Structure 1
């Protein structure tokens, strides 16, 4: 067993599960989505992105691209949440929050692609 592959796979799968946990729930209900879970999803996705920088293969480039997409969408979602909280000061409206959750859904799709690629790469490995 190679430790670096275990760590790599761990962070890819953790990024997917944290993002899924934030995404799951009613789009317009703020109480179904935790800001700390979004923060954790961003941090773990950033760690997964850093781990993908060393791979010089074509598949590694696709891994990096999917990770960059996920990080970008999650950061934009957090920025929208932060800007709205700072300027509006009141309860989050359903339109703004559905945008935040939709961006998280796009990041979730990118994370799913990463996990599918990880599984495909693992299946193709020959001993």
Structure 2
């Protein structure tokens, strides 16, 4: 069996393989994913396997185009959703930790008239 790596991902070859021998393509795809996940730190591997399981479920239960849209929406939600990466990077860690916002008194500072 040919091993996949990010160095030899030839789209045209993989497309032909998927059309000619879908089972071999699927086995290569799964092996490449497993190989990649195994290179991650142990503490991240479980989460990545769970995410890959969700992706695989979307692929199995939908048409290819519908699965692509659903998986793309999942990605965007994890990037810019309410608990996404963007909020975390912008410092909105309070949402992630469950800390509630507290009220505060707003002070009024009168503006002095300008002298002209």
> Same fold by TM (over 0.5)?
no
* Structure with more contact order per residue of length (Cα contacts < 8 Å, sep ≥ 6): 1
Q: Which has the larger radius of gyration?
A: 2
Q: Which has the higher helix share?
A: 1
